[in-house]
Amino acid sequence: MGGAYPDPIYAKRRDGLFVVAVHCSHPARTCFCVSTGDGPNAT
């Protein structure tokens, strides 16, 4: 966001963004991360 060509529309949308990440220790076989072949760790 601090680059040479700032995008004010993106910056305004990003300022209002609220991100939630869930970190589980034992994913079920029906969980999204298992279906994509990824792990349950939030990064």
DSSP 7-41: -HHHHHHHHT--------SS--TTSHHHHTT--S-
Q: pLDDT, tens digit, for every residue of 17-39?
A: 998 877 777 778 788 877 787 77
Distances (CA, A) of 31 to 3, 10, 15, 22: 37, 31, 30, 12
On the question of pLDDT at 42 being above 80, the answer is no
Separation of alpha carbons 13 and 32, rounded Å: 26
Q: For the whole model, what pTM was predicted? A: 0.39
- Predicted pLDDT of residue 7: 92
Q: Torsions phi, psi of 8, nearest 5?
A: -65, -30
Give me the mean pLDDT over the 2-29 stretch.
Answer: 84
